[in-house]
Amino acid sequence: MSELPRKVLPAIALATVGLLVALAIAGGTASAQYPPPVGSVTTSVSETTPATGASVTCTCKVLDTVGNPVAGEVCSFTIVSQPGTDARLSSATAVTNAQGIATVTLLTGSVPGSIVVSSTARGVQSQATVTAKAATPVAITTPATPGAAPPTGVGQGEGGTLVAPWIMAIGAAVALGLVSLFVLRAVAGRPKDR
């Protein structure tokens, strides 16, 4: 063999060993992927049918591809639609905690109807709907003053029945009975005409 192949063979062998070592090392190292793989983003609300003018907690939960919570992820919140113009969020963004949860507050506004809230994280969007109901008017009652005269006029007895009409009906029946009794006595005590 010539002198050149003897000098080249050890260099080729050394290069081959180096390549194998490099491949082994590369196979054992972690690689990063950007953007990170997305697991799930879920939007939820603390109450789905609050009254108008109420506060509702909106939550964005971020999980990775194996279902673990993702901490430190920025979630963006927006109102997609609303029946009026005065529903609003306490903040446009929030950062997830150790449980992968970020929260903001939704103020439902003064107009009844559906409010759609969206949260976005890692390029994934999720929505939840809140249906604001008109506030029910509250009846205001005045407590009775001790020692005061009872109220006059038509009242209500137990079960919500009106008291005065029953008293009037009983009184009228008693009066009619008494009148009938007097008329009968008067007719019976009168001398007969022959």
DSSP 118: E
Region of 8 (left: φ > 0; alpha: ψ -120 to 50; beta: rest) is alpha
Parent domain of 82:
40-132
Q: Are 101 and 60 contacting, i.e. CB atoms less than 8 angstroms apart? A: yes
Domain assignment of residue 171, yes or no: no
Give the integer Cα–Cα distance in Å for 46 and 98. 20
Residue 89 is assigned to a structural domain of this protein: yes
74: in domain: yes
Whether 180 maps to a domain, the answer reads: no
- CA 96 to CA 121: how far, in whole Å? 10
State the DSSP string of 61-74. EEE-TTS-B-TT-E
- Given a contact cutoff of 8 angstroms between Cβ atoms, the answer to whether 76 and 119 are in contact is yes
Domain annotation covers residue 107: yes
Domain count, the chain: 1
* Domain containing residue 81: CATH number: 2.60.40.10
pLDDT at residue 23, rounded to an integer? 47
Reading the chain (194 residues) residue by residue, the pLDDT tens digits are: 556 556 655 655 555 555 544 545 555 544 555 555 678 999 999 999 999 999 999 999 999 999 999 999 999 999 999 999 999 999 999 999 999 999 999 999 999 999 999 999 999 999 999 999 987 766 666 666 666 665 555 555 555 555 566 566 666 666 666 666 666 666 666 666 55
Does 164 map to a domain? no
Domain annotation covers residue 61: yes
Question: What is the pTM assigned to this prediction?
Answer: 0.54
pLDDT of residue 29: 47
Tokens of 68: 């673990």
